[in-house]
Chain A
Amino acid sequence: MRILHSYGKFTTIKVISLVLILMFALGGCWDRNELSSLAIATGAAFDKPQSKVGIDMTTQVINLDTLAPVAVHSTIAAPPYWNIKTTGQTVFDCIRNASQQSTHKLYWAHNQIIVFSEDLARESGVRQYLDFFLRDAEPRVSTWVLVSKGKASDILEMESKLEPIPAVNIASLIENRKYTGKASAVDLYEFSNRMLSEATAPVMSLIELVDENDEKIPLLSGTAVFNQDGKMIGTLNELETRGMLLAIDQFESGLLVVEAPDSKGQLGIEILNSSAKIKPQISDGRLKIKIDIKVSGSLGDANCYVDVLDENTWNSINQRQAEAIRRDILLSLKQARTLKADIFGFGDAVYKKYPQEWKKMKPDWEEIFPSLEVEIEAQTTLVRPNMILQSIKGKKEG
């Protein structure tokens, strides 16, 4: 400002006024978008294209007319969403082509899910479809990515209970899977991180539609496994998914059903806390992976008589908890070996700890991984039996 002063009496004022005018003239209203002119996209689905080339895309936007508290067209039972089907050369092309059908511009900041049909994921892979969602400013990397067992566009047309918009419904389903741990929750950020990694196999949630009284109800279950090229190569079932989540420390909560100590029934153990660490070790030139996992659970229910005041019973329940966890992890390991897919990120762990050795292993990792020696150390605690100490005892029971 001092320098400016020297040029004349009112230079500072002139400069400031100029800046103000330019600020409004050049910057003003630059990316203005009235909310009423936007179509809020909540989901995107990609199916195998009808023609050889190009992309078939379905975009779900919110149809506000039917969402209104006092429905504008109350006589027509229209769904609160509109699925726009477009084709194009690229994803962005599809999205822009939607303007040929929609009066409102698609707005991607609130997109919840991206669904790929299984055949598309297996045949052409998903890599080419993700570029737009990472490159453009509007979509978020926190968008959930899923593979659907049937047609992906059907997912966006399912019967939606409790939550009127299918895409939002699925996003809530993914949030909710933390109570079972039987499906994985992968967002765009994690998926692309796994794609960028040198060894880790990318995964996605797996969803299917089940028929129930002629209604199509979604079922979120298991995991889709991809190879490093972004092509789907297989799936994990529910227990395998849980094993994977436990091993990579993404398990939040879930119910382990174990046999009661005297094999009279089953006990449900709810996992409250779990933490896991993958530790690679090289001894005598041999690579060994150790998975340290610490879990605490509580006795959630029992369908037979169980006396938790008995210390032996309590300890043996705890042991069964540890066994169940080992079993789940081993199941997932077995499936991963079959698929030759490092879903746990062992390779990354080795790279971090032994960067020099990793260089030698890297080219053959696909061969090394299935035969790796893996040791699982599960430390479990059983915290509490919750509100009652003893189950209600039947008259004939001892």
Chain B
Amino acid sequence: MFGFFKKKARAMQLHNLNAKEQNRQNAPQKPAGPALSANLEENLKIIRNTLGQSPDIIIRKFNFGPQYSYNAALVFVDGMVDKTIINENIIKPLMYDMHIVTGEHKFSLDNLGDLRNILLSVSDVRNITLFDEVFKRSLYGNTILLLDGFAAALDIDTKGWQARSVQEPSVEKVVRGPREGFTENMRFNTALLRRKILNPNMTIEQMVIGEQTRTNVAVAYLKGVTSPELVEEVKARLSRIKTDAILESGYIEQFIEDAPFSIFSTVGNTEKPDIAAARILEGRAAILVDGTPFVLTVPMLFIEGFQAAEDYYSRAYYASFVRLIRFMAFFLSILAPAVYVSLLTYHQEFIPTPLLITMALSVQGTPFPALVEALLMGVMFEILREGGLRLPQQVGQAVSIVGALVIGQAAVQAGLVDQTMIIVIAVTAVSSFLVVTHTDAATLLRFLLVLLAGALGAFGIVIGLLAVLVHLASLRSFGFPYLAPVAPLIIGDLKDSFIRAPLWTMIKRPQLIGNRNPTRQGEHLKPAPPEKN
């Protein structure tokens, strides 16, 4: 079945590629765009025409220099700039401090570079000559200084819009560990990453994706650790994206993933700099997208869903225990309702007699078959979950109370649903949140397996699980087998899979991803008390 979708996908991809190739051949070489002229008024007219009459586009004209002989204009977008910089570091030096530079001498401005070198006390200033750049930079929070008589302009970094400060992420909470999370501002995010890895090899490469939104996207990796082939592949896949808008990293994810028809995600994401840094240090690459706190990491392995940051911050015993619990919870969340349905409708002989009596008691008098009940309650739970998620917090609580009362008590008391089913669904619901990464896949699988169990019993469940297993084994994420280190079996990497071995035993990076620079640490790091003489 999956193979069918894959073939379709391949056919579509080929079709698209062909179309793209043809477009490329037909389209003429992209022109560099119109250049600035030496006439200020003309330039401003073009700018006004392009940017329109939007009230947030500010064009500030002023004169400066001896005898106010220089006509200048500043172009910036209100709200995106830090006005103090404009006032204190651009206008003020030009209007008031000019005489310090010129003194009694007659000042002649030969090129704009002089202004930049002598007068403007802003860190990032560069020369531009094209209108395209004027628009691009000013819309990104820079201020453009145009001067009459020059066919160029100065692009001055005055970015300073309101942004959410660094906060604790709401999804990946920790008891122990750093609480900072990525923000919507990509510059903050790259800084947060750099603060984790203070290494000159930490490389961030930036590009712009989105024909209309022109979103900044950055690829971060550690030179010498991340394999260059992976970085090339990531950049190639990113540069293939020709779309209108990138509003969230999810857009990128869906354009670069390996298995677009799989219910499993093959691109990881995180909201926490420490997790992103840890993945980069294992040899992965991170993709940061401006405007979202979710940073993508590739390649992603199935096992990553079960690894939490805290596993590495707390000691190995408890971390390993929690890992096993997570695996258990994952299987519980896919299998519990299906197994219950199959036991109830096909395999009553599997259940110990006292338990069967208890179950029969709770089933007694309920009108629906077990399959219908499981589907009904499963859908009900998803509705409540979705409702609780999207509503404002105060209303969300009301929804959950109504849900608890309606589902938990009323349905049972009215004899519509059996109690054990409620328990099964509740257990399923709670356990599906232990492995957040795979929650959506698990939810879909759960319904699929319930249907299979309802039609074919335990046989159906086994068929379903086998199909999923075969599918998982066939998945690749940026060329890396999805089920590693289990399939293919990599004994050394099992240290960080079902259990989390002590840190001093994990000498090597994950073998497949980190093979560019396999050794993580020295061999004799096992702590021990000082030897006595």
Q: Contact residues of A with B, CB < 8 Å?
A: 10, 12-13, 16-17, 20, 23-24, 27-29, 31-36, 38, 40, 42, 62, 64-65, 67-69, 107, 109-110, 112, 138, 140, 168
The residue from B357, B365, B455 contacting A28, defined by CB atoms under 8 A apart: B455
Chain B 318-345: CB-based contact to A (< 8 A → 1; otherwise 0): 0000000000000000000000000011
Task: List 8 other contacts, CB 8 Å, given A23-B463, A34-B345.
Answer: A35-B344, A35-B363, A36-B365, A42-B353, A64-B361, A68-B364, A69-B361, A110-B348
B153 located at the interface, meaning its Cβ lies under 8 Å from any Cβ of chain A in the complex: no
How many Å lie between the Cα of A238 and that of B307 in the bound state? 63
B366's nearest neighbour on chain A, judged by CB, is: A36
Q: Check B345–A35 contact: CB distance below 8 A.
A: yes
B177 located at the interface, meaning its Cβ lies under 8 Å from any Cβ of chain A in the complex: no
Q: Check A40–B346 contact: CB distance below 8 A.
A: no
Known: A13-B4, A24-B455. A31 touches B346 (CB 8 A): yes
Q: Check A20–B1 contact: CB distance below 8 A.
A: yes
The residue from A13, A64, A107, A109 contacting B364, defined by CB atoms under 8 A apart: A64
Residue total for B at the interface (Cβ-Cβ under 8 A): 27
Top 7 closest pairs, chain A to chain B, by CB: A109-B349, A28-B455, A13-B4, A36-B363, A110-B353, A64-B364, A35-B344
List 19 interface pairs A-B (beta carbons < 8 Å), by A numbering.
A12-B3, A16-B1, A20-B1, A23-B463, A24-B455, A32-B345, A34-B344, A34-B345, A35-B370, A40-B353, A40-B356, A62-B360, A64-B361, A65-B364, A68-B364, A69-B361, A107-B348, A110-B353, A168-B353
The residue from A23, A34, A65 contacting B456, defined by CB atoms under 8 A apart: A23
A1's nearest neighbour on chain B, judged by CB, is: B3
**Inside 8 A of B7's CB, which chain A residues have their CB?**
13
**Inside 8 A of B364's CB, which chain A residues have their CB?**
36, 64-65, 68
Among residues 354 to 384 in chain B, which have CB atoms less than 8 Å away from a CB atom of chain A?
356-357, 359-361, 363-366, 369-370
In the complex, what's the smallest C-beta–C-beta distance from B422 to chain A, in angstroms? 16
Q: Check B357–A40 contact: CB distance below 8 A.
A: yes
Q: Check A34–B369 contact: CB distance below 8 A.
A: yes
Number of A-B pairs, beta carbon distance below 8 Å: 75
Q: Check A28–B456 contact: CB distance below 8 A.
A: yes
The A contact surface, by secondary structure, is mixed
In the complex, what's the smallest C-beta–C-beta distance from B467 to chain A, in angstroms? 10
B354's nearest neighbour on chain A, judged by CB, is: A168
**Inside 8 A of B359's CB, which chain A residues have their CB?**
35
**Inside 8 A of A16's CB, which chain B residues have their CB?**
1
Chain B 434-466: CB-based contact to A (< 8 A → 1; otherwise 0): 000000000000000000001111010001000
In the complex, what's the smallest C-beta–C-beta distance from B50 to chain A, in angstroms? 52
**Inside 8 A of B1's CB, which chain A residues have their CB?**
13, 16-17, 20
**Inside 8 A of A140's CB, which chain B residues have their CB?**
349
B356's nearest neighbour on chain A, judged by CB, is: A110
A110's nearest neighbour on chain B, judged by CB, is: B353
A39's nearest neighbour on chain B, judged by CB, is: B360
Q: Check A62–B346 contact: CB distance below 8 A.
A: no
Among residues 1 to 42 in chain B, which have CB atoms less than 8 Å away from a CB atom of chain A?
1, 3-4, 7
In the complex, what's the smallest C-beta–C-beta distance from A159 to chain B, in angstroms? 20
In the complex, what's the smallest C-beta–C-beta distance from B223 to chain A, in angstroms? 44
**Inside 8 A of A110's CB, which chain B residues have their CB?**
348-349, 353, 356
Q: Check A109–B348 contact: CB distance below 8 A.
A: yes
In the complex, what's the smallest C-beta–C-beta distance from B443 to chain A, in angstroms? 22
A36's nearest neighbour on chain B, judged by CB, is: B363
**Inside 8 A of B457's CB, which chain A residues have their CB?**
32
Chain B 38-73: CB-based contact to A (< 8 A → 1; otherwise 0): 000000000000000000000000000000000000
**Inside 8 A of A168's CB, which chain B residues have their CB?**
353
How many Å lie between the Cα of A10 and that of B346 in the bound state? 35
In the complex, what's the smallest C-beta–C-beta distance from B92 to chain A, in angstroms? 73
The residue from A31, A33, A67 contacting B361, defined by CB atoms under 8 A apart: A67
In the complex, what's the smallest C-beta–C-beta distance from B205 to chain A, in angstroms? 41
Q: Check B348–A33 contact: CB distance below 8 A.
A: yes
In the complex, what's the smallest C-beta–C-beta distance from B316 to chain A, in angstroms? 43
How many Å lie between the Cα of A62 and that of B364 in the bound state? 12
How many Å lie between the Cα of A334 and that of B26 in the bound state? 109
In the complex, what's the smallest C-beta–C-beta distance from A351 to chain B, in angstroms? 35
How many Å lie between the Cα of A17 and that of B1 in the bound state? 7
A65's nearest neighbour on chain B, judged by CB, is: B364
How many Å lie between the Cα of A28 and that of B371 in the bound state? 13
Q: Check B353–A34 contact: CB distance below 8 A.
A: no
**Inside 8 A of B370's CB, which chain A residues have their CB?**
34-35
